[in-house]
Structure 1
Amino acid sequence: MNSTSLNITLPDRAMPNPTISFLLLITLLLPWSAQSAPLTLIYSGDFNGELEPCGCSEGGNYGGILRRSTTLKALRSEQPDLVAISAGQLLANESSRDQLKSEYVLKGFSTFNYDAVALRWRDLAYGVEFIDGYNIPWLAGNWKGSGDTVTRSRKIERNGVTLRVFSWLNPKRSPFRQMDHSQWLTVDDMAVVQQGLKAANERGELTVLLTAWPLRKVQREFDLADVDILVVRAGHEVFSDPQMAGDTLVLQPGSRGMRLGRVDLEFSDGKVDQYQHQVIEMPESVADDEMLREWYNDYNAKVKTAYLAEAEIKKALASGERDYVGAESCASCHQPQFDTWQGTKHATAFSTLENVGKSFDPDCIVCHTVGFDQGGFIDFVITPELMNVQCENCHGAGKAHIESKGEQATVNQQMPSLVRCQQCHVGSHSPDFNFDTYWPKIAH
């Protein structure tokens, strides 16, 4: 078994022809020509509704649908017969606004021409009907729902190689089981998938199993003798190097759609014999696919419309009384601290959203204003004094503190400083956050 792993990054936007430059880069890097490989596999997993990357930090500014489209087109230009698969979880359902985003994720993915996409429970958050009607080849090896939106396997034929792709949708994680009189959409017995794998193997087809489990769990539950390629639960953002478990090639993608994995494969006696693995980065330097510009503009317009409608409701409900007062009200007693704040990036945080056209996106607004969705900031016309990151983002609403002339402590007095920061500086929004290096920038 011979293998090689490396990372590549698509070229800068300023280069005149990103596709040609990308192909030249591939040619220079590969120790053996990808054209000699019978099969090129592009894989990913756990997209998690990341329609576009969070641009708040360089470390998190990877991926997104516009860059993925550019990358896939470049890869197909070099290797038209590649196979593209995903371990699923394309969608997110963590807030009321995720349904709109999910609709546009599905529209974007439907342009990618994937060969197989594993169905996960989060993809069904809005029902089976929600994912129907898109050019997305969903599969779940233990599916028993009606219709043809989801199939139990996908057959793929390329370069004389026949792949049969399966996935396992864990019934124990089904949210539908908690609902009275609901339809159970899956078969509980793993044997239905195992039998499918065995039958495909006996037909001489190469088998792929997509799961949301770690390797050890899969090894306990499945006989990998009939699995040629296994995709396991995604790691956090970063792809892992492939490994062999017996004769099975094990791949672990990274989450949030920030990167893609590529494996150039050679086979012998119906098994993986050689592979070359690459992680394809999609940083800000990768150009957006202008063919999807209308799709993206339409999405932003819908987000803005929904936000303005919500703001009107909040304005109608507003009583004129609120607990948030704004930084100007703090200055009379805390002038040195106010002056320090004015010199920080916190004081102009809202302008960073305006610069990238996201001043109407609630997912972004919440960490660039004071008290959004908590009786504070409504919009920049109604509550301009609550724009930017101010005193009350960290110390809590200040009305009672001011009215008591400081006798009543601020709301977050007992909250540790690190926890205050991590209300926003966390996860995908601030992956490089380190309290010891960030705090000196705003110390007051």
Structure 2
Amino acid sequence: MPRPVLLAALWGLVLVLGGCMRKEPPPHPPEPEAGVGTASSSAPGAILFVSADTRGYLGPCGCSENMRGGIARAAFQVREARQGTTLPVLYVDGGNSLFGETTLKPGQVPQEELKAKALADAMRLMGLSVRATGPLDDTRGADFRQGLGLPEVADGAVKLLPAGARKVGVVAGETPAQLVAASAKARAEGADFVLGLLDAPLEEAQKAAETPGLAVDVLVATRSATEMSGEQNRLVKASVPVVAPQSKGRSLVRVDLSYAPKPGRFALQKGQADLEREVAALEQRTALLDKDINLPGIDPKLKALKQAKRDELVARRQALVTAPPAAATDVNGFTVRFVPLESGLPSLPDAQALVARYDAEVGKLNLAWAKEHGQDCPVPAKGESGFVGNEPCRACHEESFPVWEKSKHHHAWETLEEVGKQHHLNCVGCHVTGWEQPGGVCRLDKVAGREDVGCESCHGPGSAHSDEPSADNIVASPGEAVCVTCHNPENSPHFDFATYLPRILGPGHGKPVDAQPSTKPADTRKPAKP
């Protein structure tokens, strides 16, 4: 057979056989998370998780032990619920979550935008169903917010979510009138259970809950009145239960729905009061242990015992707030619980990786911005004092330094370096001396000489006192008001001035120095101004 004919015959055989051979199927699209659009339409209930008022917090901030919060812990709770049930699990964000302030200084913009993007990525990872928006989401404008690509429900609008055998309607508003109109529309479109998200503090939400015509089953207050007012989870029972989660990402709201055979309006299930009382008792015992654990100078063995007991109480409470409630058989019922994101709870590795990547990137970003755009601190105005650092103080007050050097204040900057956050704008202000003050630190690339919580952090700027020492130009005995600028309820929730003060006092620093010969030449001490 001629060669061309032979080749043609062989090629034809290959094509025939190839048509009979098993072909590799095309790659499958990523499987949706369990509970996200995959639950059975006959599911007898559903679980809703709600976050709100996160204020741009990826994780807890502060120097106390057992700090709550963290988007990675929240992500674990949602994932754990999905893996532990065949019920649909929906995650909703109430808004005011992307930023902590409505206006930013130029130097804050790179960090805060990067953080908002990390939060958005984490919400996507959690299978966000929909979110409302508030003023703290539009800090960088609506275009930036919408560019994050998260599913949103506008004020006065409705988002219907399939939830097994029923539909959940999510409505949002900044006024009661918007919620009334939106909730009526949700019912008309077939919503069985309606979740209301009101861009207002708890007190305003309570009034809104009594508005005639409001057709929501649960109303969430998505914004605290002030930065420090969202320190506690709040559930107010009325004709419409009103919920305000702890701000800054420290808790999730969990709503469990149970379906009766026939559709109908939902009612708060009986027996929730007993659960709340038990959870509240555990919460109180945990808070008392937290206070003891954070006592300065506590014996390490005693601390370990108390920590173990605290971990036990947290585990018991966690079991209560995550256990499925008894299903209502004759009515459509729901329960409302809070899931505190305690320090001992696991974090979702994928979400934790997002946070770690942000931590690594933002420090480099802030340092680069400071080098290119940073402005030095202004000089003091005429007649005002500026910060000069510790060394001028040492010349006259050397006996005070051994006490300070043994304190945690002396290691404040080091604690940031240990976790790689020495260039994080959210942290640095309480770990240097004179943040954004004349003579202090205004650039992250020029911190040298102002590291740590130094003398002037408590006694005020010292340039005038250094030039002419006098009791009239320095704060001799700083009071509690100075301490709580950093040791506030968020960063140091167990701070007690009377308890902590003795830890930074000692001979020559708030206590008389033992009578000993001076080791310094007499002429190193500047005379006091008459």
TM-score, length basis structure 1: 0.75
Larger displacement relative to structure 2 (249-258 or 231-240):
231-240
1:327 and 2:364 correspond: no
1:359 and 2:349 correspond: no
For 1:106-145, what per-residue CA distance to the aligned partner results, in whole angstroms no more than 9, with x for missing partners? 2322322222212112211211111124352221333xxx
Structure 1 runs, 4 residues or longer, greater than 6 Å off: 318-322, 378-381
User: Does the 8 A contact of 2:434 with 2:441 survive in 1?
Assistant: yes
User: Does the 8 A contact of 2:96 with 2:134 survive in 1?
Assistant: yes
Alpha-carbon distance in structure 2 between the residues aligned to 1:390 and 1:93: 28
User: Does the 8 A contact of 1:40 with 1:264 survive in 2?
Assistant: yes
Change (3 A) 1:325 1:266: same
Query: Could you say which residue in structure 2 is the equivalent of 1:282?
Result: 341
Query: Could you say which residue in structure 1 is the equivalent of 2:473?
Result: 409
Match of 1:239 among 233, 258, 264: 233
1:210 and 2:197 correspond: yes
Shift in Å, 1:167 = 0.9
Alpha-carbon distance in structure 2 between the residues aligned to 1:191 and 1:277: 25
- Amino acid in structure 2 at the alignment position of 1:73: R
Change (3 A) 1:421 1:320: closer
Change (3 A) 1:85 1:292: closer
Query: Could you say which residue in structure 2 is the equivalent of 1:31?
Result: none
Question: Unaligned regions of 5+ residues in structure 1, if any?
Answer: 1-34, 143-151, 171-189
Match of 1:229 among 218, 221, 225: 218
Alpha-carbon distance in structure 2 between the residues aligned to 1:315 and 1:78: 50
- Amino acid in structure 2 at the alignment position of 1:101: K
User: Does the 8 A contact of 2:377 with 2:442 survive in 1?
Assistant: no
Query: Could you say which residue in structure 2 is the equivalent of 1:138?
Result: 152
Query: Could you say which residue in structure 1 is the equivalent of 2:412?
Result: 349
Q: Identity percentage over the alignment?
A: 27
What pairs up with 1:425-440 in 2 under 5 angstroms? Answer: 425-440=487-502
Shift in Å, 1:277 = 3.9
Alpha-carbon distance in structure 2 between the residues aligned to 1:438 and 1:254: 26
User: Does the 8 A contact of 1:44 with 1:254 survive in 2?
Assistant: no
Larger displacement relative to structure 2 (100-109 or 422-431):
100-109
- Amino acid in structure 2 at the alignment position of 1:65: I
1:387 and 2:376 correspond: no
Alpha-carbon distance in structure 2 between the residues aligned to 1:319 and 1:196: 52
1:259 and 2:251 correspond: yes
Alpha-carbon distance in structure 1 between the residues aligned to 2:478 and 2:402: 23
Q: Larger C-alpha radius of gyration, 1 or 2?
A: 2
Match of 2:89 among 76, 82, 90: 82
Match of 1:400 among 443, 464, 474: 464
- Amino acid in structure 2 at the alignment position of 1:330: C
Match of 1:52 among 59, 62, 67: 59
Match of 2:47 among 23, 40, 44: 40
Alpha-carbon distance in structure 2 between the residues aligned to 1:99 and 1:339: 42
Query: Could you say which residue in structure 2 is the equivalent of 1:295?
Result: 354
Larger displacement relative to structure 2 (418-427 or 199-208):
199-208
Shift in Å, 1:100 = 3.4
TM-score, length basis structure 2: 0.64
Secondary structure in structure 2 of the residue aligned to 1:384: coil
Report the RMSD for the aligned CA atoms in angstroms.
3.0
Larger displacement relative to structure 2 (276-285 or 344-353):
276-285
Shift in Å, 1:267 = 4.6
Change (3 A) 1:105 1:401: same
Question: Unaligned regions of 5+ residues in structure 2, if any?
Answer: 1-41, 270-333, 511-530
Secondary structure in structure 2 of the residue aligned to 1:85: strand
